[in-house]
C-alpha cells in the first residue's frame, strides 16, 4: 500500500513539505486508539525471540527509527504503532533554532538517497521534553539525540550538551551525542580526540550524579579514516560510554548514478540512503573488531531491505536504525526485517 499509493503521493511534494504532510497523516490516521490497535495488529511482529538487551535496556526488537524524522517528539505515539523497537528523537539543541535556509532537503530517487542540510532545526530541548512527558505510550523506548546550537562556539559546546542532557534525562531511555552532522559549521571538529573525550567525560560525570544512570552513545561520521576510528575506540573505552551509533550522513558524493551536475546544484549537505550502505557497514565491522564486546553498536546507513539489516547485524551491530530506507520503503520494511530475524 505504501509504495503503490502513499509514497507516489508524498513524492509529489518537496521533501520537507512531504515530511510535514506525513506527520499530519500519521496523526489523522493513527490519532484514535482503535486505529493504533489496527495498525499494530498489521505491522508489529511480536516475539520474545526478537528481544535484545543492549546497554541495560530491554528492546522489544532491534529495529529502531533513527534521529532526524521526529526531531521534536511530535509523533512518537503514532510511530510506535508501526513496529519500531525504539524511536530516537532529535537532534535537539538547548534553544530552538530554525536551521539552515530552504531548500535544504533533496531526493535522489535513482540512488534511493537523500541529501539534507537541515542544520538542527528544532524547537529546543525543553519543548521536546514537555511533549515526551505528555505522551500516552510510555512503553516505547525513546532515545534523545543531542547537539549544540549553531551560534554556540565549539569552546562552549560542552555546556550545550549538558543542558540538553539534563533537560531530557527524565524522559528518555538513552542518549546519543551528535558531533558528526555535516550541517552545523565546525561541528565535526568536536570529533577530534581531545574535545570529544572532554565532552563525553563531562556527560558521564553528569550521569554519575544521578541515582540511576542512562546509557550514552556517540554518533560518528562515515568519513572517518581508520586512525580516527582508532581514536573513537580509545575514547569510548576511556569514558566507558555505552557504545557507538555508526553512522551519520556522508559528505562524499560517490557512488551515485544521479547526474553529477544535478547533484552539484543541490549543494552541500549530508548524503544518506543506499549509497551509504557499504561504508557504514565497513565502519561497523571495523569498530566491532576493535571495540570490547561490552560496548554496543547501533548500525544505521543505507538499510532498504531485510538483507541490508542483516549485513549490519552480521558485521557487528547490536541494533539497527532506519531513516532514509523508511522514507523510500515504508513501514513494511520494519516488519520485513523482524520477520527475517525470526526466519519467517
| Active site (catalytic) residues | 181
Show Cβ contacts of residue 181 under 8 Å, excluding neighbours closer than 6 positions.
91, 120, 147, 187, 188, 248, 249, 270
Q: Three cell numbers at 322?
A: 532506519
Q: For 301, how many CA atoms within 13 A lie in the half-sphere containing its CB?
A: 28
Residue 334: partners with Cβ closer than 8 Å, 6 or more residues away? 43, 63, 82, 83, 84, 322, 326
Distance between CA 121 and CA 297 in Å, rounded? 26
For residue 67, give the nearest of 332, 267, 337, 298 by alpha carbon.
Answer: 298
Q: Is the Cβ–Cβ distance between 145 and 92 less than 8 Å?
A: yes
115: number of Cβ within 10 Å: 24
Work out the end-to-end distance of the chain between its first and last CA atoms, rounded to an integer number of angstroms: 21
Amino acid at each position: 500500500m505504501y509504495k503503490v499509493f502513499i509514497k507516489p503521493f508524498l513524492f509529489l511534494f518537496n521533501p520537507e513539505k512531504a515530511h510535514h504532510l506525513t506527520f499530519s497523516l500519521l496523526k489523522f490516521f493513527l490519532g484514535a486508539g482503535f486505529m493504533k490497535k489496527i495498525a499494530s495488529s498489521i505491522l508489529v511482529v511480536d516475539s520474545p525471540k526478537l528481544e535484545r538487551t543492549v546497554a541495560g535496556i530491554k528492546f522489544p526488537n532491534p529495529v529502531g527509527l533513527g534521529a532526524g524524522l521526529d526531531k521534536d517528539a511530535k509523533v512518537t505515539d503514532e510511530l510506535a504503532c508501526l513496529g519500531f523497537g525504539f524511536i530516537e528523537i532529535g537532534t535537539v539543541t538547548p534553544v530552538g533554532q530554525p536551521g539552515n535556509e530552504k531548500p535544504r532537503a533533496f531526493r535522489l530517487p535513482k540512488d534511493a538517497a537523500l541529501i539534507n542540510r537541515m542544520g538542527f532545526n528544532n524547537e529546543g530541548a525543553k519543548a521536546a521534553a514537555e511533549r515526551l512527558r505528555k505522551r500516552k505510550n510510555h512503553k516505547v523506548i525513546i532515545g534523545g539525540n543531542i547537539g549544540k546550537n549553531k551560534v554556540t562556539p565549539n569552546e562552549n559546546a560542552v555546556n550545550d550538551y549538558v543542558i540538553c542532557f539534563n533537560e531530557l534525562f527524565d524522559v528518555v531511555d538513552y542518549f546519543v551525542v551528535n558531533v558528526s552532522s555535516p550541517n552545523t559549521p565546525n561541528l565535526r571538529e568536536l570529533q577530534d580526540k581531545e574535545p570529544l573525550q572532554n565532552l563525553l567525560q563531562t556527560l558521564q560525570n553528569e550521569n554519575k550524579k544521578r541515582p540511576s544512570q542512562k546509557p550514552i552513545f556517540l554518533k560518528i561520521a562515515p568519513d572517518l579514516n581508520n586512525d580516527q576510528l582508532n581514536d573513537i575506540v580509545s575514547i569510548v573505552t576511556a569514558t566507558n560510554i555505552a557504545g557507538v551509533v555508526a553512522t551519520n550522513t556522508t559528505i562524499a558524493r560517490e557512488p551515485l548514478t544521479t547526474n553529477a551536475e544535478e547533484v552539484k546544484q543541490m549543494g552541500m549537505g549530508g548524503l544518506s540512503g543506499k549509497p551509504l550502505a557499504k561504508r557504514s557497514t565497513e565502519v561497523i565491522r571495523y569498530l566491532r573488531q576493535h571495540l570490547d564486546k561490552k560496548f554496543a553498536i547501533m548500525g544505521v546507513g543505507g538499510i532498504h531491505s531485510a538483507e541490508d539489516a542483516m549485513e549490519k547485524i552480521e558485521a557487528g551491530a547490536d541494533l539497527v536504525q532506519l531513516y532514509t530506507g523508511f522514507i523510500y520503503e515504508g513501514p513494511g520494511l520494519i516488519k520485513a526485517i523482524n520477520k527475517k530475524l525470526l526466519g519467517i
